[in-house]
Amino acid sequence: MSTQTTAPATQPAVHADEGAPAVEVADLVKRYGRSGRPAVDGLSFAVRRGEVFGLLGPNGAGKTTTVGVLTTRVTPTSGRATVAGIDVAADPVAARAVLGVVPQRPNLDRSLDARGNLVWHAAYHGVPRARRGPLADELLERMGLTEKASTNPDELSGGQAQRLIIARGLMHDPQVLFLDEPSTGLDPQARLFVHDRVTELAASGVTVVLTTHDMDEAAKLADRVGIVDHGKLLALDSPDALVAGLPGEATIDLVLTGADAATVRGRIDGVRGVAGVDDRGGEGDDTVRLRVRVDGDAGAALAPVLGAVAGTGATVGQVDVGEPTLEDVFIDLTGRGLR
Ligand SMILES: Nc1ncnc2c1ncn2[C@@H]1O[C@H](COP(=O)(O)OP(=O)(O)OP(=O)(O)O)[C@@H](O)[C@H]1O
């Protein structure tokens, strides 16, 4: 992942503020309709140039709405949002010239083939005619789609369509690319391909803002992650720093049967070296899943933890030792899981 600040090779016609953050959101509020709580509820953050920034949160957290505002598709109720120093509400046309969007739902033009979608997008954004074809061919190649140039979007796989949408988002050489849930619904191979392209883009100096409810994706791709829930920012830092801020350095996952969760948790909590116990929910009436966070080496704590469980009469069905993740950060902040 890159932190370089090099500008793209071809500058867009609009002269954005070079010194401004790639993206800045200040006290952003979006309320759909009159009632209910806001979808975005006073969000503030800034994204550095050349950074891969992840907005991580569960379904309905307000991620898509935030990206909608930043990409001029959603009108904010209040607050300010800028891309490359351009106020998106005050000057949406200028903002659209410096940003690219990969939306959550595929919106390719089915009356055009794959290459036609790219060329049309470039024309819409005022890319000179002579540049459009060569650029389309270059991006089709980068996205592994050269053989699909003449294919209708309806005949592309989910992963191919997603790659074509990324290519389309890059046709006008944006400074900031927004990817909304870039790998939802993709098979593991297609997902990996998209991840590699995102990493490449960042290395080439494009700022990437992605939304995801997938903590592995956020941890892998993002230089920094903003964790959102109910339209509010709960934490913002690098994935490593967020995880390092948790109590406990290792985890022991237990699947138990015949256990009273509260009793078992209480017993485990009393074991020396245990930093905390989270209830991960059960699968049936009789199953309890616990994540035990321990200081230092999980191996040293394993025997006393299992000893504490044995004293409750519960049966241990499964034991897994691991390290805390962004999911643990989210649980620590909200008391519930991401999914
Ligand atoms: N056009 C709309 N009209 C009314 N309510 C909306 C609209 N779009 C989103 N919402 C509501 O706003 C809230 C935030 O939705 P949003 O799509 O921004 O969340 P999200 O974090 O992107 O979720 P997901 O991961 O499911 O895409 C949700 O409660 C949703 O129902």
Give the domain ranges of the chain: 23-243, 247-323
Q: Name 81's bridge partners.
A: 25
The pLDDT assigned to 5 comes to 35
The pLDDT assigned to 159 comes to 87
Task: Give the residue, by CA position, lying nearest to ligand 1 atom 16.
Answer: 62
The pLDDT assigned to 321 comes to 92
The pLDDT assigned to 13 comes to 45
**CA nearest neighbour of 183 among 206, 152, 216, 207:** 216
Cα 63 to ligand 1 centroid, rounded to whole Å:
8
The pLDDT assigned to 258 comes to 83
Cα 337 to ligand 1 centroid, rounded to whole Å:
18
The pLDDT assigned to 249 comes to 86
**Coil/strand/helix, residue 303:** helix
ipTM field: 0.96
The pLDDT assigned to 223 comes to 96
**For the CA of 228, the nearest atom of ligand 1:** 21
Cα 231 to ligand 1 centroid, rounded to whole Å:
10
CATH of domain 23-243: 3.40.50.300
The pLDDT assigned to 284 comes to 62
The pLDDT assigned to 320 comes to 92
Helix H or strand E encompassing 212: strand 207-212
The pLDDT assigned to 193 comes to 84
- Ligand 1 contacts CB of residue 63 (under 6 A): yes
Integer Cα distance of 279 and 100 in angstroms: 41
Q: Which residues of the chain have pLDDT under 50?
A: 1-13
- Ligand 1 contacts CB of residue 221 (under 6 A): no
Does domain 247-323 bear CATH number 3.30.70.1340?
A: yes
Cα 124 to ligand 1 centroid, rounded to whole Å:
28
- Ligand 1 contacts CB of residue 39 (under 6 A): yes
Task: Give the residue, by CA position, lying nearest to ligand 1 atom 25.
Answer: 59
Integer Cα distance of 101 and 163 in angstroms: 12
Cα 225 to ligand 1 centroid, rounded to whole Å:
20
Which residues, 6+ apart, have CB-to-CB distance to 137 below 8 Å? Answer: 115, 146, 149
Cα 60 to ligand 1 centroid, rounded to whole Å:
5
- Ligand 1 pocket mutation, candidates 28, 29, 65, criterion most atoms within 8 A of CB: 65
Looking up tokens 């999980």, which residue turns up? 298
- Ligand 1 contacts CB of residue 57 (under 6 A): yes
**For the CA of 30, the nearest atom of ligand 1:** 12
Terminal alpha carbon distance of the chain: 26
The pLDDT assigned to 282 comes to 63
Cα 226 to ligand 1 centroid, rounded to whole Å:
17
Cα 62 to ligand 1 centroid, rounded to whole Å:
6
**For the CA of 36, the nearest atom of ligand 1:** 29
